[in-house]
């Protein structure tokens, strides 16, 4: 095992009422990494987090922490703390008492607890809030107190289960930066759960994309966005044009009856493939300069860019551009070969890609 690996999940499987929720998951997490488990509802991400935290025992497989098997250890014996979406603050206790709760159970001295409360409140920018009650705080402040309560226990790993889900957009964005700052200051590992792609791309060192109990892809935000391993990842992370294609030969794909040069090789000849093209990678040019021609059918101003639909060869292309093209205008569609992603078609609808390494 690599020196800096802090958690290693080996062959983890879980079923509820005979329904598989996790299928033989293998995943390692490095020390001081911000790793995000990302996927739609029911994909198995929260179950994975609960297994790491000790709240759920896997049917098969082992949880290794710093080289030791902790599969059978209860949550309070693990060097981990969890922050939940609903904050789980005690309403009848002051902020100081909420933060001190775990330390009192550990029978720490009054002086130690006082110092830790002060340190934690300073870290989350809520100095002077010791005697306030939870209900007098905003959602964002309550979330920061929940994080303060977790970090005073000096966990090596902080597990965060959709902690920003209940906050409004502006507060969520500000808390994203707070969490990145906290992680860097504390130097501990963050394991983060979200179904929000933008949140995952903004905050993570590593993203684990999950679907139907399988890991689809593990990589940096850049890898996941620019080099998705399959159509599910491409569609889930950002918006994409996913089109049926035929790989005619190396570096040449047929899309909607037209031949597009690309850079992919090794797919064979005349093979059905999925072609993924990001909306920002579609260039609208003069009709005669495009690989195919189309007509702009809708136009939306999104602030940073215009979002357009272009009907070309029977397919509605999604296009993002800083240049506005009016509805009804004929355009050519051009895509740089490097911006065309070719993917194997799954053999069946249920076939899932899985990946065990980063």
- DSSP for 72-103 reads T--GGGSSEEEE-TT----TTS-HHHHHHHHH
**Residues linked to residue 316 through DSSP beta bridges, in sequence order:** 311
Which DSSP category does 178 fall into? H
- d(Cα 334, Cα 253) in Å, to the nearest integer? 14
Instruction: Name the nearest CA neighbour of 259 among 246, 268, 244.
Output: 246
What is the rounded distance in angstroms from the CA atom of residue 55 to the CA atom of residue 7?
A: 16
Q: What is the pTM of this model?
A: 0.87
Helix, strand, or coil here: 210?
A: strand
User: Could you tell me the residue ranges of all domains in the chain?
Assistant: 5-226, 239-344
Q: What is the pLDDT of residues 8-39, one digit of tens each?
A: 999 999 999 999 999 999 999 999 999 999 99
Residue numbers of the chain with a pLDDT score lower than 50: 1, 348-358
pLDDT, residue 213, reads 96
What pLDDT is stored for residue 356 in this prediction?
40
Burial of 72 (0-12, 13-18, 19+ CB in 10 A): exposed
86 closest CA partner among 194, 162, 171, 173: 162
Q: And the tokens for 8?
A: 């290693």
pLDDT of residue 110: 92
According to CATH, the superfamily of the domain at 239-344 is Nucleic acid-binding proteins (2.40.50.140)
Domain 5-226 in CATH 3.40.190.10: no
The reported pLDDT for the residue numbered 354 is: 47
The residue written with tokens 């994080």 in the block is: 147
**pLDDT 10s digits, 135-172:** 999 888 998 899 899 888 889 999 999 888 877 888 88
Distance between CA 143 and CA 218 in Å, rounded? 28
User: Residue 38 burial by CB count (10 A; 0-12/13-18/19+): exposed, middle or buried?
Assistant: buried
């Amino acid at each position: 095992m690599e020196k800096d690996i802090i958690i290693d999940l080996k062959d983890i499987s879980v079923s509820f009422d005979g329904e598989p929720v996790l299928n033989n998951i293998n995943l390692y997490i490095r020390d001081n990494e911000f790793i995000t488990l990302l996927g739609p509802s029911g994909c198995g991400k929260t179950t994975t987090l609960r297994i790491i935290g000790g709240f759920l025992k896997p049917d098969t497989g082992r949880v290794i922490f710093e080289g030791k098997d902790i599969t059978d250890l209860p949550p309070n014996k693990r060097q981990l703390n969890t922050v939940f979406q609903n904050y789980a603050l005690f309403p009848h206790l002051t902020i100081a008492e909420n933060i001190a709760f775990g330390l009192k159970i550990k029978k720490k001295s009054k002086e130690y607890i006082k110092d830790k409360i002060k340190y934690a409140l300073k870290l989350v920018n809520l100095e002077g809030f010791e005697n306030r009650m939870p209900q007098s705080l905003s959602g964002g402040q309550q979330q920061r107190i929940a994080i303060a309560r977790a970090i005073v226990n000096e966990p090596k790993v902080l597990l965060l289960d959709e902690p920003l889900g209940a906050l409004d957009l502006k507060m969520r964005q500000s808390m994203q930066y707070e969490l990145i700052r906290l992680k860097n200051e504390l130097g501990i590992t963050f394991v983060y759960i979200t179904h929000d792609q933008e949140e995952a791309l903004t905050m993570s060192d590593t993203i684990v994309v999950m679907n139907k109990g399988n890991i689809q892809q593990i990589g940096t935000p850049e890898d996941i966005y620019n080099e998705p391993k399959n159509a599910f990842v491409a569609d889930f992370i950002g918006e994409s044009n996913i089109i049926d294609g035929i790989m005619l030969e190396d570096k040449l794909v047929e899309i909607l009856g037209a031949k597009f040069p690309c850079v992919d090789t090794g797919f064979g000849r005349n093979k059905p493939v999925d072609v993924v093209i990001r909306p920002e990678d579609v260039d609208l040019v003069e009709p005669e300069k495009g690989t195919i021609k189309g007509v702009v059918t809708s136009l939306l101003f999104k602030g940073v860019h215009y979002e357009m639909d272009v009907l070309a060869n029977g397919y509605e292309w999604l296009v993002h551009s800083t240049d506005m093209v009016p509805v009804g205008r004929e355009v050519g569609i051009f895509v740089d070969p490097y911006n065309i992603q070719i993917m194997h078609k799954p053999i069946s609808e249920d076939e899932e890609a899985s990946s065990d390494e980063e």
